[in-house]
Amino acid sequence: MKTIYVLVFFCFLLFLVAEARTTNQTDCKTFNCGNLDFDFPFFSTGMPSRCGLFKMNCSDHEVLEIQLAENGSWYKVTSVSQALTITITDPRLNRSLETGTCSDLSSFSLPDSPWLNMTTLYKCNNSRNKNGFAYANCGGGGSSLYYSNLGESHNETGCSAFKTPQSWVIPRNKNLSNVNATFSLHLNLPGSCYRCHRRGGECKMNEGEFYCVEALIDPKSHDPKSHDPKRQEKLKLGLGVALTAVVIIIMVTIIIVRANNARKSDWNGENVEAVAISKFCLGNGTRNIGKEQCEFNLLKSKLSLQEVRFVSE
Ligand SMILES: *[C@@H]1O[C@H](CO)[C@@H](O)[C@H](O)[C@H]1NC(C)=O
Ligand SMILES: *[C@@H]1O[C@H](CO)[C@@H](O)[C@H](O)[C@H]1NC(C)=O
Ligand SMILES: *[C@@H]1O[C@H](CO)[C@@H](O)[C@H](O)[C@H]1NC(C)=O
Ligand SMILES: *[C@@H]1O[C@H](CO)[C@@H](O)[C@H](O)[C@H]1NC(C)=O
Ligand SMILES: *[C@@H]1O[C@H](CO)[C@@H](O)[C@H](O)[C@H]1NC(C)=O
Ligand SMILES: *[C@@H]1O[C@H](CO)[C@@H](O)[C@H](O)[C@H]1NC(C)=O
Ligand SMILES: *[C@@H]1O[C@H](CO)[C@@H](O)[C@H](O)[C@H]1NC(C)=O
Ligand SMILES: *[C@@H]1O[C@H](CO)[C@@H](O)[C@H](O)[C@H]1NC(C)=O
Ligand SMILES: *[C@@H]1O[C@H](CO)[C@@H](O)[C@H](O)[C@H]1NC(C)=O
């Protein structure tokens, strides 16, 4: 009976270990917003930030909002395509463009995210007529021009860079650009990012190099090699679970085999006893009382099996 308790205890332990391992992944689940299902690389407010790269606020089911960077500005989502192209509106720029008070486009800038395809524009003080992007709508201030193809010369003083949607830099005609508060961005994630997430890790980019912060690591670490010892730790944990399982299987096997043996030997014992008594009563030990009576007497008496055996030999 004690072994049963030990077994139950081990099973409980195994369950606890397994539970602890999966908790981090179960925090991140598919969420529904406006009849659409989202999962990685999107995550919902209320989930930990390791669940994805783009936080979504879905508390108002009419208006879905998205953050392009951690703690960044919120953008209204118009659509999300299967090919991971999101169409969003910057409400601040929308307001500026609608009211016609947009005088300085450089107050607009998308976060410099490694996961988004964007282009760079340069705001320059000098009014040299370069080929490129010169924005009409926001020309109110009169001093700033916006260039897309400065090349090496962007380093010249008087120019500053900012990130914009790719669609902006294709002018519709010579005087008018495509600046629009509603624009599309293509999410560009390496496949290893999805694998990293499935392992419970966090996808990071440092100086153009992708790396995975494993589940059991300090999220602040930016050294791509630093996940190795932690990975071993995880491996050890897995090994521990496997070992526990093996021990339990062995224990169960031993208990079953023992129980079987015990039953078999009980049966054998009875059998040997009966055979011994029968043998004894068939021989000259009957003393005219008959075989049945002899057997009955022997069984009734407190003769142990050993004694009967001894007698019968
Ligand atoms: C879950 O994640 C947290 C922080 O991201 C980490 O401290 C913890 O060790 C992780 N637990 C497991 C079992 O991976
Ligand atoms: C989400 O949006 C609602 C309004 O739509 C707002 O009240 C709430 O504070 C937002 N949540 C976050 C985390 O920004
Ligand atoms: C975002 O905000 C949270 C809480 O305000 C802070 O702990 C975290 O460091 C911030 N992250 C970044 C990248 O600024
Ligand atoms: C942009 O501004 C116009 C006019 O102010 C408004 O009708 C429209 O709803 C706005 N779009 C978004 C996505 O905020
Ligand atoms: C996005 O940029 C990557 C390289 O940075 C490129 O391989 C990919 O084709 C681009 N995707 C789109 C839709 O422009
Ligand atoms: C920009 O110019 C500074 C000095 O004026 C120089 O040190 C730097 O390397 C230049 N950067 C690029 C990207 O050319
Ligand atoms: C443009 O020139 C003004 C002064 O003439 C200066 O204050 C401003 O910082 C300059 N802008 C850039 C982007 O260099
Ligand atoms: C572009 O601007 C020039 C002068 O500023 C004007 O003469 C021309 O008609 C404009 N073209 C269009 C298509 O608006
Ligand atoms: C901005 O883009 C949206 C969607 O692509 C389009 O419906 C709208 O007409 C555009 N606005 C302007 C001023 O071009």
pLDDT tens digit sequence for 88-123: 999 988 887 777 666 667 678 899 888 999 988 777
pLDDT of 286 > 70? The answer is: no
Tell me, yes or no, whether 239 and 178 share the same domain. Answer: no
Q: CA-to-CA distance for 187 and 126, rounded, in angstroms?
A: 34
Q: What is the mean pLDDT of residues 74-87?
A: 91
Q: What is the dihedral of CA 39, 44, 48, 52, to 10 degrees?
A: 40
Distance 54 CA to ligand 6 centre (A): 33
Last residue of a domain, one of 156, 188, 220: 188
Q: Is residue 37 part of a domain?
A: no
Q: Which range is most confident: 28-32, 52-56, 95-99, 239-243? A: 52-56
Indicate whether residue 70 lines ligand 3 (CB < 6 A): yes
Indicate whether residue 106 lines ligand 9 (CB < 6 A): no
Query: Of 141-150, 186-195, 241-250, which gets the smallest average pLDDT?
Result: 141-150
Tell me, yes or no, whether 167 and 246 share the same domain. Answer: no
Model pLDDT, residue 222: 39
| Residue 172 DSSP code | S
Q: CA-to-CA distance for 110 and 149, rounded, in angstroms?
A: 18
Tell me, yes or no, whether 175 and 69 share the same domain. Answer: yes
Q: CA-to-CA distance for 125 and 164, rounded, in angstroms?
A: 19
Model pLDDT, residue 185: 94
Q: What integer best gives the mean pLDDT of the chain? A: 72
Structural domain span for residue 284: 232-312
Model pLDDT, residue 285: 53
Q: Is residue 94 part of a domain?
A: yes
Q: Is residue 236 part of a domain?
A: yes
Indicate whether residue 51 lines ligand 1 (CB < 6 A): no
Do residues 211 and 119 touch, judged by C-beta distance below 8 A? Answer: no
Tell me, yes or no, whether 176 and 101 share the same domain. Answer: yes
Three-class SS state of 170: coil
Mutate to test the pocket of ligand 7, among 109, 120, 125 (most ligand atoms within 8 A of CB): 125
Three-class SS state of 46: coil
Last residue of a domain, one of 163, 188, 213: 188
Indicate whether residue 59 lines ligand 2 (CB < 6 A): yes
Number of H helices, E strands in the chain: 6, 14
Q: Is residue 194 part of a domain?
A: no
Model pLDDT, residue 9: 61
pLDDT of 74 > 90? The answer is: yes
Q: Is residue 131 part of a domain?
A: yes
Indicate whether residue 98 lines ligand 4 (CB < 6 A): yes
Of 7 and 221, the one with more pLDDT: 7
Of all atoms in ligand 9, which is nearest to the CA of residue 180?
A: 1
Tell me, yes or no, whether 168 and 242 share the same domain. Answer: no
> CA–CA distance from 228 to each of 4, 217, 240 (Å)?
40, 10, 18
Which protein residue has the closest C-alpha to ligand 5 atom 5?
Answer: 117
Instruction: Beginning with the edge strand found earlier in the chain, give each strand of the sheet holding 54-57 in spatial order.
Output: 42-44, 54-57, 65-67, 74-80, 85-89, 182-187, 116-117
Q: Is residue 32 part of a domain?
A: no
pLDDT band for 77, please (50, 70, 90 cuts): very high
Tell me, yes or no, whether 116 and 171 share the same domain. Answer: yes
Judging by beta carbons within 10 Å of its beta carbon (0-12, 13-18, 19+), is residue 262 exposed, middle or buried?
exposed
| Residue 238 DSSP code | H
Which protein residue has the closest C-alpha to ligand 9 atom 3?
Answer: 182
Mutate to test the pocket of ligand 8, among 175, 176, 177 (most ligand atoms within 8 A of CB): 175
Q: Is residue 165 part of a domain?
A: yes
Last residue of a domain, one of 188, 222, 248: 188
Of all atoms in ligand 2, which is nearest to the CA of residue 63?
A: 5
Tell me, yes or no, whether 182 and 63 share the same domain. Answer: yes
Of all atoms in ligand 3, which is nearest to the CA of residue 69?
A: 13
Of the ligands numbered here, which is closest to the C-alpha atom of 122? 7
Q: How many CA atoms lie within 13 A of 237 on its CB side?
A: 15
Question: Among candidates 79, 36, 113, which has minimal Cα distance to 183?
Answer: 79
| Total tally of structural domains belonging to the chain | 2
Distance 48 CA to ligand 3 centre (A): 12
Q: Is residue 33 part of a domain?
A: no
Query: Of 125-129, 273-277, 279-283, which gets the smallest average pLDDT?
Result: 125-129
Tell me, yes or no, whether 87 and 179 share the same domain. Answer: yes
Distance 164 CA to ligand 7 centre (A): 20
